[in-house]
Chains A and B, each alone.
Chain A
């Protein structure tokens, strides 16, 4: 019998498994850092497997919306096409592991798609959509469907230290570095 039919997120990882998946997302964040992008990485886990990966590509694509989450969503769509399974079906039963709290835009996107669960590392005090700046995950938004479940705090410190590393250098494509605020604690930008 198809156990996927028992509602969203039939797969419920324990603490240790959450940590294991988050480590995989962290590898992608480091990859972003090495490529001169804001170090945020993420993976989609579906049916106990990684089905899509993403990391920030804003500078490479000259598109400020190429956050790790949206890059991974595109990869997930490709995976679904390849496997010939319904994208809507898969994403509702998937878990997103992302090193930083999704921003307001990504949170809106993930709710549009009715993602099953978000597990994130550190909070995003400048743009966070899962409680830091706005509560896009939980607010009453009829056109976006039911609220989205979020858990934070996995490897938060490690995610923060990557961001600090990035912002202590300079983003070479930002024309006015003086408006870029120094990062303290877990205040970050993505």
Chain B
């Protein structure tokens, strides 16, 4: 998940005016629309204030700087409503003073952020049920977890076989398995072939093997150097233009270790659905060095699950001990 989900509430300065009647507040909003900060409710009721029970947000107060501790630092006088917007013509007894207040600067993403934000100013919240489930409950269902662990174990088997064949391991992760989650079919299993090509990390090999299954692909891998489980032959008519699968759209990928920046971006380009990886890598791009799966601006995002099978031991621990044995 992106850091945004776990961050505390951030504030911005806004001016507000004390106000009497709900009806006339319409006139305010037409003269002073609030295009930014749409998540804030415009009006806050304060029944303890007898004369002006309503507080209405006017506009961002750019001259006052928001401070870290949650209190506005007034460095200039807040202008009156008349000074702010001369076009609004309202009787004096309706309009109270203007003040500057700190409001949450961004829409809350989680219930916790919503509650913290609402304590400051009324805020709207569109709960993302999926995100809430991720934050509160077990992320994977038992069945999903079981499948995932099986595929990860298979990725380790592939990695082990790769090490035996290559005698050394290179690239960001030693084994990669690609699965179609809809049919629960294993499509590709690959290990790095970096002796023949420095960029043939397991992920890059696997992506090209998917392309090969779809009737294209770029490389011929010499069989004796590669252990490929190619069980998921696609029916011939499915591989035809337009109706066939597009790249790796919707597929799940399992790798023994966190992919490097090249492989991670290759997975973004390939539009996978979800990635499971075992151990973190020092220069890993999905949590350690970068968080590419949450990078704003990229046209595709996928889910990342770290540390499958890590409850008792690391994937590399399993891998090393089994290679030595």
Contact = CB atoms under 8 A, between A and B. Distances in A.
Please classify how large the interface on chain A is, using the bins under 10, 10 to 19, 20 to 34, 35 or more: 35 or more
A62 B215 contact: yes
Interface string B221-240: 00000000000000000000
Given A108-B261, A112-B198, A64 B282 contact: no
Interface string B156-193: 00000000000000000000000000000000000000
A109 B299 contact: no
A104 B299 contact: no
A159 B242 CA distance: 29
A105 B281 CA distance: 17
Contact of A175 (B208, B246, B285): B246
Interface in A102-126: 103-109, 112-113, 125-126
Given A104-B292, A139-B289, A143-B283, A63 B207 contact: yes
A62 B216 contact: yes
Given A74-B197, A104-B268, A105-B262, 9 more contacts: A64-B247, A104-B292, A108-B261, A112-B199, A113-B198, A129-B261, A134-B261, A144-B260, A173-B241
A59 B264 CA distance: 20
Contacts of B299: 126, 179, 181, 189
Nearest to A59: B216
**Which of B262, B263, B271, B282 has most chain A Cβ within 10 Å?**
B262
A58 B197 CA distance: 19
Interface string A3-39: 0000000000000000000000000000000000000
Contacts of B268: 104-105
A98 B321 CA distance: 45
